A = this chain, B = another copy of it.
Amino acid sequence: MKIDRRRLEQSIEELGRIGQTPRGGLTRLALTDEDKRGRDWMVARMREAGLSVTVDQMGNIFGQRAGEAALPPVIMGSHVDSVPTGGRYDGQLGVLCGLEVIRTLNDEQIRTRHPVTLAIFTNEEGARFQPAMIASGVMAGKIALEDAYNARDKDGIRLVDELERIGYLGAEPCVARPFRAYLELHIEQGPLLEEDGLAVGVVEGIVAIAWSRLTIHGVQDHAGPTPMRIRHDALVAAAEVVAGVRRIASEIGGDLVTTVGNLVVTPNIVNAIPGRVTLSIDMRDPRDATLDRARDRLEPIVRDACEREGVRYELEHYWRVPSTPFDRDVVNAVARAAKAAGARHRRIRSGAGHDAQYMAAIGPAGMVFVPSRDGRSHCEEEFTPIGDIDYGARTLLLAALDLAGRA
């Protein structure tokens, strides 16, 4: 059984034009006008494919292809939101490969025992509203609906108001329901598959992730007549923290990764000593215990940097997801499918969070990875060759069919 490579390429091309950047990337932040247009395009394709479409309270979109029996569905899911100046593969490739699976089942007139559902989750990236994966988090009961609704973007706009504005504040309760399996195809976003010359990664689980937010309160003053001896510069302390966060990763080593991705200076003008800096700390490791050690090292780094500069600070650990192993049966089904698809593959662990992480908390979940050129993602240069995508989509198709069962 083959997927239609040309049709899939064309979908990637068409959806990729919504929110496209001049350099061929994508800026389609959650619940913006671009996100709405991407959603509308997907809903139209889902209806064309005969799916019955519903939208829940968090704006998650579900398109169901009925099964032979009233059984829990096999869900194939991902997202259509992007980071700013991101790429056209992160998220939407999973959604489009899921669509291609549905279309192939239709073309081949295959009936399944379990229904097969295509899912699009709201605000997976966390680029506009935090935390990331907020909508699958609500579904899994890990984030309160109320808190998710009140998440605000940097301009103070509430998530629920944007859901309503773009017409995706659905009525279906956003709660856990039984499913046969959750499958998510995604780009690896790392270099391992490409380095090994492989087309498919059979994902065994997702690393633990911890996000923290640091606010440093210095003393805003004039950059000229203020002698060095009386300065309390929030940015000087912040720079030490950035260096220290990098040092944590080099000292602990292994698979630990640490990043300061967001840093904002106030008042942020040439001739004023920075009075306030806020910054983010993102740390990830396959083992929860290693992440605990990393966090233990963070605290004294921040304290010492701020003491040296004589500035106050608040350090808030506001989001943590534990290391998530995927369901053994689903992982094995994906491995069998990769083999049957003829894809060169290996088992791999995801360094990025995905909606699969929350879905794994409420049912059997697994993922299919395809390679990222140069290991790059969250950038305009993000790219996966169509040959690898073809293998990935076939793996997804065969795994879904295996798990849903032929009628």
Contacts and interface: CB of A to CB of B under 8 A. Distances in A.
Interface in A116-133: 125-127, 130, 132
Contacts of A219: 376, 379
Q: Give the number of copies in the complex.
A: 2
A345 interface: no
A207 B224 contact: yes
Interface in A189-208: 189-191, 207
Contacts of A223: 257, 259, 261, 282, 284, 378
Interface string A256-286: 1111111111111111111100001010100
Nearest to A266: B85
A282 to B, nearest CB: 5
Interface residues of A, number: 72
10 contacts: A127-B267, A219-B379, A220-B376, A220-B379, A223-B261, A223-B378, A224-B257, A225-B350, A226-B376, A261-B274
In the A-B complex, the 5 residue pairs with the smallest Cβ-Cβ separation, listed nearest first, are: A225-B351, A190-B225, A239-B242, A224-B352, A223-B259
Contacts of A56: none
Contacts of A262: 265, 268-270
Given A249-B228, A270-B126, A270-B280, A189 B243 contact: no
A257 B227 contact: yes
Contacts of A222: 90, 189-190, 351-352, 376-378
Contact of A233 (B238, B259, B266, B377): B259
Most buried by B among A130, A191, A209: A191
A240 interface: yes
Contacts of A226: 189-191, 257, 351, 375-376
A334 interface: no
A271 B377 CA distance: 11
A15 interface: no
A407 interface: no
